[in-house]
Amino acid sequence: MPEKKIRVLIAKPGLDGHDRGAKIIARALRDAGMEVVYTGLRQTPEMIASAAVQEDVDVIGLSILSGAHNTICPQLMKLLHEKGMNDVTVLVGGIIPEADIPALKQSGIAEIFLPGTSTQDIVDFIHKRVA
Amino acid sequence: MSEQRKGSTQTVPPSEASSANREPSAKEQAWEKNTLQPTLEQSPERQAEFTTISGHPIRRLYTKADLPNWDPDRDLGFPGEPPYTRGIHSTMHRSRLWTMRQFAGFGTAEDTNQRFRYLLAQGQTGLSTAFDLPTLMGYDSDHPLSEGEVGKCGVAISSLADMEVLFDKIPLANVTTSMTINSPAAVIWAMYLAVAEKQGADWKKISGTLQNDILKEYIAQKEYIYPPEPSMRLVIDTFEFGVKNTPKFNTISISGYHIREAGSTAIQELAFTLRDGLEYVEWGMRRGLDVDQFVPQLSFFFNAHNDFFEEIAKYRAARRIWHKAMVERYKSKNPRAWALRFHTQTAGCSLTAQQPYNNVVRTAIQALAAVLGGTQSLHTNSLDEAWALPTEFAATIALRTQQIIAHETGVTNTVDPLGGSYFVETLTKEVERGAWEYIDRIDAMGGMVAAIERSYPQREIAEASYRYQVAVDKKEKIIVGVNDFVAEEKPLDVLQIDETVAHRQAARLKKLRADRSQAKVDRRLNALRTAAKGKDNLMPFLYDAVKSYATLGEICDALRDVFGTYEEVAIT
């Protein structure tokens, strides 16, 4: 039986439209053999949580550059919990001040990838985590 | 050629197979045989192939063989004269330095007003306003979608009351101001004009720049509200209003900056920006505006990335293309419409979060390219901008960088110091040719709006951006401190914007809505809605609405009622 592909939702929450990073990651994960769904821009936490359920994903990758992470991430984690999606791995990529990282991890974000991260590091992290 | 490019899978634009028909002189051939070959045999070059950061191939050496039939009088010309390769003024920076215009905005209007006054006190010569995401998207600070975003990426402006605070004690009659706002540009401009009027500044004399470039929003930055058609109508409304009322104001800044930041190559940045420019000209002409009257109020905005010579070639080529298009395509008779004036910002996307002090060096080199390329105004990024909006400390170094280039390096002593360089002239020619190929292709699609609707520029940029990322991941392109020369380091102290900004804004809005005449606001919003359904120029209606202290969100909602909103097809 062929191995089940890892399913990833790449989401761009908030009002920001800078989607270069989200698109690069979506493509890199796809090139690494994962099944990737990209939500497009300006997704609310509700929209992301619903899409995660509907697409039955293993991983959610959030791209946030605007400084809204402290508002968005806890909201999303709460919604995922309410929907029983407790085993989904949530990753954040973008501009996140180091001081904010501990609280984000506390809220259940598995890892935060800062600017300059190679796409391979993200692929490796997901493989290790979702294997 | 255009057919072949449609699938956007080709990796190198066709123009980049350059210098195929080179005929080296006897002396050059002898040099190759006697000097070059023995050297290469002894020690090969570091790489099999050298390319710019955009992937454009670069030869070992450029000689007159790269410029066959090149006549400097005809092909290069003189500064201040067509085709403006050497600059749009005969004396360039000998007479007047570029405007040092640092982009600033954060928190509330009070916070940014203070930063503005600080920057002016440090010798900055123009203002440039960054708005926060809710403002850019036409939402008030207390809208549910604004949560977590108020004052973060720029200043929060929800009404004329905020705008009055933003420019408090800043004389708009003397200071030129640039405003980076697009979808709601006409509304924000109406607020600016209302402040100017209140200060007693003459609209005929005030000067500044409204970014107002909606096309690059669909292409790259993605802060759009309405569909292309009504958005373009709003842009042309500002052109028409500007010609009559504010002849010194740049009603648009046609921007390649964001296209480049989204990952385009230099040629794509140039081509898509200039083709956007042609699109605006054509829509203006369809409105019945006279090219020779409204085009002098259009300005441009380019990125200054790391690849020094490629950037300089890009600015030189931009002037050549614009001149040619104005004269040949639109039969313009006014030299003021032929001369492409541009602002430059150093490349935010080139800054590294790692070893951030290195960013001062990157920015200095990028700024130097902009100056050598003949820029009219310049923003230099601050060293901490891969992390956050700049602290005052970092913003001051960025401004000092420009002052050092202007006053210490001597590069401003002569016009176009690189003119006549075999390399720079060849690269200018190649970049220009590459851009024309894209422009022709977009023409064939029916113009830029049509090209955007089929995601053509979006796809081209995504391809280039991914190609570059792969090259970085494979270390084919080195980024110091990121994929080589890595070191452990301490985190930087950065500017933090807390949620009290949002609370202060919400309180102010509540008070504003209580104090104003709601009947007047409703009347003016209804008048705006009615006008939006027809064909009238909307600027006077927007002006009346902002003067009644209708909020940005209310005004943008009134237009949403009529125009609807736009959703892009997400591509990856």
CA B342/CA B302 separation, integer angstroms: 7
Omega of the bond leading into B83 within 30 degrees of 0 (cis): yes
The C-alpha of B416 sits at a distance from chain A's nearest C-alpha, in angstroms, of 34
Contact residues for B391 (Cβ-Cβ < 8 A; gap 6+): B382, B384, B493, B494, B495
Cβ atoms within 10 Å, residue B54: 25
CA B183/CA B194 separation, integer angstroms: 19
Q: With bands split at pLDDT 50, 70 and 90, how would you rate the model's confidence at B490? A: confident
pLDDT at B7: 37
> What was the pLDDT predicted at B14?
41
Cβ within 8 Å, pair A20-B263: yes
Place B104 in a pLDDT band, splitting at 50, 70 and 90: very high
- Name the residue among B148, B466, B497 with its Cβ closest to that of A71: B148
Give me the residues paired with residue B180 across strands: B130
Contact status, residue B328 vs residue B291, Cβ threshold 8 Å:
no
Three-class SS of B210-241: ECCCHHHHHHHHCCCCCCHHHHHHHHHHHHHH
Chain B positions in Cβ-Cβ contact with residue A20 (cut-off 8 Å): 261-263, 349, 465
CA distances from A46 to A65, A85, B223 (A): 19, 13, 21
Q: Do A23 and B462 touch (CB under 8 A)?
A: yes
Which pLDDT score is estimated for B489? 87
- For residue A130, the distance in angstroms to the closest alpha carbon of chain B comes to 23
pLDDT of residue B124: 85
Q: Could you tell me which residues of chain A have a Cβ less than 8 Å from any Cβ in chain B?
A: 10, 14-20, 22-24, 26-28, 30, 36, 38-41, 44, 66-68, 70-72, 95, 97-99, 114-116, 118-120
Contact predicate A64/A95, CB 8 Å: yes
- Nearest Cα of chain B lies from the Cα of A3 at a distance, in angstroms, of 25
CA distance A46 to B228: 28
pLDDT in tens, B312-330: 999 999 999 999 999 999 9
pLDDT mean over B509-517: 97
CB-closest option in A70, A116, A118 to B354: A116
| Residues paired with B484 in a beta bridge | B480
Q: Say what percent of chain B tops pLDDT 90.
A: 91
Mean pLDDT, residues B70-77: 93
Asked if A68 and B494 come within 8 Å (Cβ–Cβ), the reply is: no
Cross-chain CB nearest to B388 (options A16, A26, A97): A97
pLDDT tens sequence across A110-127 = 999 999 999 999 999 999
Query: CA B477, CA B471: separation in Å to the nearest integer?
Result: 6
Domains with residue ranges and CATH for chain A: 7-130 (3.40.50.280)
Which of chain B's residues have a Cβ under 8 Å away from the Cβ of A123? none
pLDDT tens column, B430-452 = 999 999 999 999 999 999 999 99
How large is the average pLDDT for residues B471-482?
96
**Cβ within 8 Å, pair B479-A116:** yes
Mean pLDDT for all residues in chain B: 94
Burial of A41 (0-12, 13-18, 19+ CB in 10 A): buried
What's the CA gap between B431 and B427, in Å, rounded?
6
Chain B residue closest in CA terms to A10: B572
The rounded mean pLDDT for chain A is: 95
For A114, which of B353, B479, B483 is closest by C-beta distance?
Answer: B353
Strands (E), B197-341: 208-210, 249-250, 252-255, 298-304
Closest CB to A67: pick one of B152, B261, B462.
B152
Residue of A26, A67, A115 with shortest CB distance to B153: A67
Segment B140-189, tens digit of pLDDT: 999 999 999 999 999 999 999 999 999 999 999 999 999 999 999 999 99
Question: Which chain B residues have a beta carbon less than 8 Å from that of A97?
Answer: 387-388, 491, 494, 496
With CA atoms as reference, the chain B residue closest to A121 would be: B473
pLDDT at B6: 38
Given this model, what pLDDT does residue B126 score? 87
**Cα B16 from chain centroid (whole Å):** 24
Closest approach of B389 to chain A, Cα-based (Å): 10
Residue of A nearest to B132 (CA): A66
- Chain A CB contacts of B147 below 8 Å: 68, 71
Query: B426, B414, B420, B411: which is closest to B378 by C-alpha?
Result: B411
Residues 6+ apart with CB under 8 A from B529: B558, B559, B561, B562
In the structure encoding, which two tokens stand for residue B224, read together? 């759009």
pLDDT single digits (tens) B527-572: 999 999 999 999 999 999 999 999 999 999 999 999 999 999 888 8
With contacts defined as CB-CB under 8 Å, which chain B residues touch A74? none
Give the pLDDT confidence score for residue B11 in this predicted structure.
Answer: 40
Nearest by CB: B469 against A38, A39, A119 = A119
Q: Which chain A residues are within 8 Å of B386, Cβ to Cβ? A: 95, 115
Instruction: Note the ipTM here.
Output: 0.94
Q: What is the pLDDT of residue B499?
A: 85
- Any bridge partners for residue A105, and if so which? none
Could you give the C-alpha distances from B142 to A71, B498, B501, B515, in angstroms and in order?
15, 15, 11, 17
Q: For residue B490, give the chain A residue with the closest CA.
A: A98
pLDDT digits (tens, 9 = 90+) for B383-435: 999 999 999 999 999 999 999 999 999 999 999 999 999 999 999 999 999 99
Is the pLDDT at B248 greater than 80? The verdict is yes
Give the integer Cα–Cα distance in Å for B382 and B106. 14
Which residues of chain A register pLDDT less than 50?
none
CA distance B217 to chain A (A): 9
pTM of the full predicted structure? 0.95
Q: Which residue from B149, B262, B466 is facing A66, i.e. has the nearest CB? A: B149
d(CA B76, CA B479): 35
Tell me the residue type at B252: I
- Within B90-199, where are the H helices? 109-121, 133-136, 160-166, 185-199
The separation between CA B13 and the C-alpha centre of its own chain, rounded to angstroms, equals: 23
